[in-house]
Amino acid sequence: MLILLQILNFNYLRSTIMNSSDAYIILGLNEGASPQEIEGKFQEIYSDYQIRLSNAPTPNLKKLYQKNLQELEEAYTLLTGGVNSSSDLPSSTPQLDVKRNTIAPPPSPAAPKIAAKQPSTASAPISSGDSKKGMVYGGLIALVGLGLAVLFGLLYFQGKEEQEQERLKLEAEQEKQAEKLKRAELLERIFHEEKFRIKNSGNYNLKILTVAATFMNDKDELEKSEFYSGEVIEPGKTYDAMIVRGSRTIYDGDVISYALSFEYNGTRYTTGGVYSQDAKDGTLIVDMD
């Protein structure tokens, strides 16, 4: 949690002028901490950032840790460099040498300088209250970023779900079309016209009594023809069910569905159905044995 707050503070303080209050906040210390505490805290945070920098998974995160290390060193230098942010006088307490990590003697007093008066362009020091506001703003930015990441994740999974729904709809439509095709093929087989031919596969004579056939006429309309035949079919012979009167063909044998009554070995039988389904190789085989 401390490291997270420090990262948020860095993001806010990066665009401002750092003062001693900011430096203590970056190091996570109370104002007035001893040089030993400053040194120890700096080494602890510095080592942690070095590890994070070495293991950073993305270039943007590595760049962030590099900037945080720069801010950390700036804060350390400000607190141990011997110049107070609100005064030009040298520090009266021992100072820490950043490069050697040792306590260096205080610098000798600088010679007084007379400077020409110029309009002040320095920014006013940031108060502790402003630093706290920066922490709050940084936290809000982090929360907004987290919210956006969650939102993009939800949109991604929503898109995947919509794709799955579209796939299921497409499969359902394909199955529907396949079922329609099967029905069309079945109807085509049912309404397929053939010539009415009967074969006696029994051992006795087969006498055809009445024949009823449904067929498609020249006007593409279903028509029914029914007639008495009296034709006797010997065993193994075939009979073409047609009606011919002289040179005129009354019924040419076209058939879609049929009904048939016949006599076999002294017994009368009746049968019927869809001709294309019952006839094998275009012939209706009657086998009563």
| Tens digit of each residue's pLDDT (9 = 90 or more) over 11-67 | 544 445 788 888 899 989 998 899 999 999 999 999 998 898 888 889 888 888 888
| Tens digit of each residue's pLDDT (9 = 90 or more) over 105-154 | 444 444 444 444 445 444 445 555 666 667 777 778 888 888 888 888 88
pLDDT at 235 over 70: yes
- Per-residue pLDDT, 16: 58
- Per-residue pLDDT, 263: 95
Domains of the chain plus CATH, in order, are 194-286 (2.60.40)
Q: How far, rounded to the nearest angstrom, does the alpha carbon of residue 96 sit from its chain's CA centroid?
A: 58
Stretch among 62-66, 166-170, 179-183, 236-240 having the lowest mean pLDDT: 179-183
- Percent of the chain whose predicted confidence (pLDDT) is above 70: 73
C-alpha–C-alpha distance, residues 114 and 56, integer Å = 49
**pLDDT grade for 86, boundaries at 50, 70 and 90:** very low
Distances (CA, A) of 104 to 34, 76, 92: 14, 14, 12
DSSP class per residue in 4-19: HHHHHHHHHHTTS---
